[in-house]
């Protein structure tokens, strides 16, 4: 029989055990081993089956709970841990200890389409979501006052299985929010608190709001499955990345616009301070800025430009993709359809909305462009990705050198307490106190744990594919706990090149089956359900791994998620990553491996480009300039086999008299001590606070105060620029050199220019001299700029020293200047001489 409907009944806890409920519903347990141990002690068997406190509390026998309620030792442990959580969530932390002279935001709204906090709340598809989850956890540890906002998907992302012939099969188990660690926000009357957004045709999309507690951080998740909604609208939050463009824009409207409304309702309800800064994590959530414009237009009587100035000041936008094809774009008609009748955002001009998302293709609305135009501050997620992003979006700042494009970078990090094995975290900070023998034993324990998991999952996968238990005896001996173990797990877009390792199957086979120095390879990853190309790649791996000659040394494990990922990061000796450079924005799985002493073997892309130091792993050489992808793959695959066979494996199997690979371990130590701190999400969140959130809070307060005086001034200034700018010109300029005909490097030169200001005041512009090398096309590069000062005679002058030897050129340019601009490139306006 199939159930008509499923629902979850929560067990009632005896009075002395009430605190267990608090511990179970705050997701801090996911990164707090003492809380996990406490739950495990409630019923070790249930916990071993599924490490999920809510499930444990509903499955455990009432007699066991009664016994625990009378168990003095258990109650003392429970009290201690409950007190610890209380102190953790309410006491001062890093953020509260910052200097009082700093302008810090009272709260930050953090918007993302997915959040990967724990497998017990499967609301993510991959890296972006897990990163958002790690961001919240680190913010919680640091006391950074985030309010996180996203959607609750009824089926999360799909679960992956395999058919007998290795084709990906998707299924979508339905989640019951009442069985998840969530609490429904209710209004004063006790009913579910609903937020709504208008839909075309005088319809309304409503959503209830669930709250998860991630340590100190409230995570608000909007859920459209409410009875008052039309049937099609109930399904808006059915799946993550599941539907067509129409489905997706509805999700993004709900997340962005509904999300701001949910934050407002939450703050009203709880007295939580309102966010002064809003962080748009990737373009999907970008409509949040439009709702804030609407609030200011209808609530404060500002016009669009004034509201825009106010909103931009307090907004941070993070881009995560280095591939133009990865950017979210909607047909302009579709945006028009949802915004055009004026009910979704009353008072906000649709043409202004459309202009914010304008791109090269006039038929498309670009969410990343809107994100950048709605945010005064923006960043990519590794140094290299910052560079790539400045280049990719430079069209929004025409006339500027690529280095001046105002997109900085904050390299991603991972949450240590979540991703490091407990035993690893427990090592003394000074690794000098840890003997090689102990470190090796620990690495071997973690590898052994992975091997057990591989066997279990391989068997389960074959049973699911239709094999009989009788023919699966071999699965109990796949993998060998003493063999060099390499991991490769990630989503399967083309650029990640899942099958690069299969480029030369004979070489791969030789590595796997080497008589003295074998390698074993664990592979996992999901392909987007609509991507048959990706599924074909998975099938190639699966077919190779199905071969009885190698299946003990290579496995493809279906259903990569956080619960599997953990074992891989703990147990793999080597973490392999071979994207097509520079298409990996950052990549974080290798960071998680490094936290556990795994050595990275990776193309120098994303984070590895900046953190590889020659002795913390290996860089696979990239055939960067080669445009033929087949040749490039051949070259890079050959380099990979060479490294694995000639460097990695020999080092791993080079043992001392006690069987310990001392040279290998010195790389492990180096990785743990140098990468350990660098890859932490706490480092990342501190950087966000210091370089983005605090400056944004400061900008926001300067535009908002005294009845939005700053915003009004800035808007008026931009208005003046709009009418004057086309007439601003550098009338003439000259550069004079003293003395000898060929000036020496460092010689001082005088530059003088006259500028037509077209009615702007001298105080409203910056005039600069730009010096740089010139190539054949007279294009300036490696430029340095110097301010020119306005003199009584109406000319601009500067005295500058020549920065380069060889062919040097200069020009003069005029830029907007206003105290409330974060950089002079911000408005994308510049007038160049000539
Ligand atoms: C960390 C993580 C990712 C992201 O890994 P990348 O290296 O960025 O591809 C994806 N899925 C899960 C489950 C993760 O834990």
Tokens of 397: 């700042």
Given ligand 1 and candidates 489, 524, 527, 590, which is best to mutate, with the most ligand atoms within 8 Å of its CB? 489
3-state secondary structure of 772: strand
Q: How far is the CA of 570 from the centre of ligand 1 (A)?
A: 14
* Cβ pair 105, 277 in contact under 8 A: yes
Spatial separation of the C-alpha atoms in residues 570 and 139, rounded to whole Å? 24
Mean pLDDT value across residues 515-532: 96
Instruction: Quickly state the pLDDT bin for 39 (edges 50, 70, 90).
Output: very high
Instruction: Quickly state the pLDDT bin for 651 (edges 50, 70, 90).
Output: very high
Tokens of 695: 């400056």
Of the two residues 736 and 90, the one the predictor is more confident about is 90
DSSP β-bridge partners for residue 192: 186
3-state secondary structure of 146: strand
Spatial separation of the C-alpha atoms in residues 750 and 93, rounded to whole Å? 53
Q: How many angstroms from the chain centroid is the CA of residue 799?
A: 45
Note whether 395 and 519 are same-domain residues. no
* Cβ pair 440, 665 in contact under 8 A: yes
Q: Is position 688 within any domain?
A: no
- How many domains is the chain partitioned into structurally? 4
Q: Is position 429 within any domain?
A: no
Instruction: Quickly state the pLDDT bin for 743 (edges 50, 70, 90).
Output: confident
Q: How far is the CA of 640 from the centre of ligand 1 (A)?
A: 21
Given ligand 1 and candidates 157, 589, 607, which is best to mutate, with the most ligand atoms within 8 Å of its CB? 589
Q: Is pLDDT at 634 greater than 80 in this prediction?
A: yes
Given ligand 1 and candidates 120, 127, 321, which is best to mutate, with the most ligand atoms within 8 Å of its CB? 127
Nearest to 359 by CA among 405, 412, 319, 395: 395
Sign of CA dihedral 557, 560, 564, 568: positive
Q: Is pLDDT at 766 greater than 90 in this prediction?
A: yes
* Cβ pair 541, 499 in contact under 8 A: yes
Instruction: Quickly state the pLDDT bin for 8 (edges 50, 70, 90).
Output: low
Note whether 396 and 470 are same-domain residues. no
DSSP secondary structure, 79-119, as one string: HHHHHHHHHHHHS--GGGGS-TTS---S-EEEE-S-B-S-T
Q: How far is the CA of 729 from the centre of ligand 1 (A)?
A: 51
**Owning domain of residue 742:** 728-832
Q: Is pLDDT at 537 greater than 90 in this prediction?
A: yes
Which residue's alpha carbon is nearest to atom 4 within ligand 1? 127
Least confident residue range of 495-499, 519-523, 587-591: 495-499
Note whether 121 and 143 are same-domain residues. yes
pLDDT at 156: 85
The C-alpha angle 741, 742, 744, rounded to 5 degrees, equals 130
Least confident residue range of 136-145, 440-449, 528-537: 528-537
Q: Is pLDDT at 346 greater than 70 in this prediction?
A: yes
pLDDT at 432: 95
Q: How far is the CA of 654 from the centre of ligand 1 (A)?
A: 31
Task: Work out which ligand 1 atom sits closest to the CA atom of 127.
Answer: 4
Note whether 602 and 740 are same-domain residues. no
Task: Work out which ligand 1 atom sits closest to the CA atom of 560.
Answer: 13
Tokens of 674: 């140098």
Note whether 62 and 152 are same-domain residues. no
Note whether 793 and 757 are same-domain residues. yes
Q: Is position 713 within any domain?
A: no
Mean pLDDT value across residues 230-239: 96
pLDDT at 242: 82
pLDDT at 440: 98
User: Phi and psi at residue 241, in whole multiples of 5°?
Assistant: 50, 40
Q: Is pLDDT at 755 greater than 80 in this prediction?
A: yes
Q: How far is the CA of 490 from the centre of ligand 1 (A)?
A: 6
Note whether 84 and 107 are same-domain residues. no
Note whether 590 and 644 are same-domain residues. yes
Q: How far is the CA of 589 from the centre of ligand 1 (A)?
A: 5
* Cβ pair 122, 114 in contact under 8 A: no
Which residue's alpha carbon is nearest to atom 12 within ligand 1? 126
Specify the pairing of strand 329-331 against strand 194-199. unpaired
**CATH value at residue 751:** 2.60.40.10
Q: Is position 689 within any domain?
A: no
Note whether 534 and 631 are same-domain residues. yes
Note whether 302 and 237 are same-domain residues. yes
pLDDT at 635: 95
**Residues 6 or more apart from 588 whose CB is under 8 A from it?**
127, 130, 131, 134, 412, 413, 414, 607
Residue with tokens 């744990």: 449
Residues framing ligand 1 (Cβ under 6 A): 126-127, 130, 490, 560-562, 565, 587-589, 592
DSSP β-bridge partners for residue 392: none
Note whether 322 and 395 are same-domain residues. yes
In the chain, pLDDT over 70 holds for what percent of residues? 98
Note whether 391 and 444 are same-domain residues. no
Domain end point (choices 648, 678, 708)? 678
Around 296, how many Cα atoms within 13 Å sit in the side-chain half-sphere? 22
Q: Is position 414 within any domain?
A: no
Q: Is pLDDT at 368 greater than 70 in this prediction?
A: yes
Q: Rounded mean pLDDT of the chain?
A: 95
pLDDT at 691: 97
Given ligand 1 and candidates 31, 116, 577, which is best to mutate, with the most ligand atoms within 8 Å of its CB? 116
**CATH value at residue 511:** 3.40.50.2000
* Cβ pair 62, 220 in contact under 8 A: no
Q: How far is the CA of 254 from the centre of ligand 1 (A)?
A: 26
Q: Is pLDDT at 740 greater than 70 in this prediction?
A: no
Mean pLDDT value across residues 684-699: 98
Q: Is pLDDT at 11 greater than 70 in this prediction?
A: no
Segment 576-627, tens digit of pLDDT = 999 999 999 999 999 999 999 999 999 999 999 999 999 999 999 998 888 8
Mean pLDDT value across residues 337-351: 97
Sign of CA dihedral 756, 762, 764, 770: positive
Q: Is position 703 within any domain?
A: no
Q: Is position 574 within any domain?
A: yes
Q: Is position 534 within any domain?
A: yes
């Amino acid at each position: 029989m199939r159930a008509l409907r499923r629902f979850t009944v929560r067990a009632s806890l005896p009075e002395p055990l009430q605190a267990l409920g608090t511990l179970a519903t705050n997701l801090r347990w996911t990164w707090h081993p003492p809380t996990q141990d406490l739950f495990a002690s409630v019923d070790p068997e249930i916990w071993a089956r599924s490490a999920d406190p809510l499930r444990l509390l509903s499955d455990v026998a009432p007699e066991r709970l009664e016994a625990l309620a009378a168990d003095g030792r258990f109650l003392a442990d429970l009290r201690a841990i409950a007190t610890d959580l209380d102190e953790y969530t309410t006491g001062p932390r890093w953020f509260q200890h910052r200097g009082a002279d700093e302008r810090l935001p009272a709260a930050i709204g953090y918007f993302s389409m997915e959040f990967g906090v724990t497998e017990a709340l499967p609301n993510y598809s991959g890296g972006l979501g897990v990163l958002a989850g790690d961001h919240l956890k680190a913010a919680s540890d640091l006391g950074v006052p985030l309010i996180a906002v996203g959607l609750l998907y009824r089926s999360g992302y799909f679960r992956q299985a395999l058919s007998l012939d290795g084709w990906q099969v998707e299924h979508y188990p339905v989640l019951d929010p009442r069985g998840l660690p969530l609490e429904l926000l209710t209004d004063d009357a006790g009913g579910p608190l609903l937020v709504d957004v208008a839909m075309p045709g005088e319809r309304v999309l409503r959503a209830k709001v669930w709250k998860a507690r991630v340590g100190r951080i409230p995570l608000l998740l909007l859920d459209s499955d409410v009875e008052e909604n039309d049937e099609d609208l109930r399904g808006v939050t059915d799946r993550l990345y599941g539907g067509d463009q129409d489905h997706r824009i509805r999700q993004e409207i709900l997340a962005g616009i509904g999300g701001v409304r949910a934050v407002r309702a939450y703050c009203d309800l709880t007295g939580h301070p309102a966010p002064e800064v809003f962080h748009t994590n990737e373009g999907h959530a970008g409509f949040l800025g439009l709702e804030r414009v609407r609030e200011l237009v209808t609530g404060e009587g500002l016009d669009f430009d004034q509201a825009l100035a106010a909103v931009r000041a307090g907004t941070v936008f993070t881009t995560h993709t280095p591939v133009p094809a990865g950017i979210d774009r909607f047909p302009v008609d579709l945006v028009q359809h949802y915004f055009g009748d004026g009910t979704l955002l009353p008072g906000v001009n649709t043409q202004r909305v459309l202009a914010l998302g304008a791109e090269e293709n006039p038929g498309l609305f670009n969410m990343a462009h809107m994100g950048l135009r709605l945010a005064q501050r923006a960043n990519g997620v590794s140094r290299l990705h910052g560079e790539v992003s400045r280049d990719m979006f430079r069209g929004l700042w025409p006339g500027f050198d690529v280095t001046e494009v105002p997109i900085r970078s904050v390299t991603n990090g991972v949450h240590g307490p979540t991703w490091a094995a407990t035993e690893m975290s427990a090592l003394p900070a000074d690794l000098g106190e840890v003997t090689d023998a102990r470190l090796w034993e620990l690495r071997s324990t973690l590898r052994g744990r992975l091997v057990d998991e591989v066997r279990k999952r391989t068997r389960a996968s074959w049973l699911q594919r239709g094999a009989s238990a009788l023919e699966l005896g071999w699965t109990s001996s796949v993998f060998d706990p003493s063999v060099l173990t390499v991991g490769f797990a990630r989503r399967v877009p083309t650029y990640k090149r899942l099958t690069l390792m299969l480029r030369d199957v004979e070489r791969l086979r030789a590595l796997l089956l080497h008589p003295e120095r074998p390698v074993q390879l664990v592979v996992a990853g999901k392909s987007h359900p609509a991507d048959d190309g990706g599924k074909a790649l998975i099938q190639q791996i699966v077919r190779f791994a199905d071969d009885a000659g190698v299946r003990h040394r290579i496995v493809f494990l279906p259903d990569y998620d956080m619960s599997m990922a953990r074992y891989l990061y703990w147990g793999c000796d080597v973490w392999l990553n071979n994207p097509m450079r520079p298409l990996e924005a950052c990549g974080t799985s290798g960071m998680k491996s490094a936290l556990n002493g795994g050595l990275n073997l990776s193309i120098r892309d994303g984070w590895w480009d900046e953190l590889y130091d020659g002795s913390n792993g290996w860089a696979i050489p990239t055939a960067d300039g080669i445009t033929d992808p087949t040749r490039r793959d051949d070259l890079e695959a050959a380099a990979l086999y060479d490294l694995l066979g000639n460097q990695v494996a020999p080092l791993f199997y080079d043992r001392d008299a006690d069987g310990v690979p001392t040279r290998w371990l010195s790389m492990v130590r180096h990785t743990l001590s140098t990468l350990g701190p660098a890859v932490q999400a706490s480092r990342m969140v501190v950087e966000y606070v210091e370089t983005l959130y605090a400056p944004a809070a400061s900008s926001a307060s300067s535009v908002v105060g005294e009845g939005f005086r700053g915003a009004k001034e800035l808007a008026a200034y931009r208005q003046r620029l709009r009418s004057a700018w086309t007439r601003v010109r550098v009338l003439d300029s000259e550069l004079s050199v003293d003395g000898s005909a060929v000036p020496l490097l460092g010689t001082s030169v005088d530059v003088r220019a006259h500028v037509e200001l077209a009615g702007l005041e001298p105080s409203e512009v910056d005039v600069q001299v730009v010096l740089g090398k010139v190539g054949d096309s007279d294009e300036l590069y490696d430029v340095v700029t110097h301010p020119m000062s306005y003199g009584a005679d109406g000319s601009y002058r500067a005295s500058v020293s020549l920065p380069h030897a060889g062919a040097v050129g200069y020009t003069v340019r005029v830029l907007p200047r206003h105290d409330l601009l974060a950089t002079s490139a911000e408005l994308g306006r510049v007038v160049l001489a000539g």
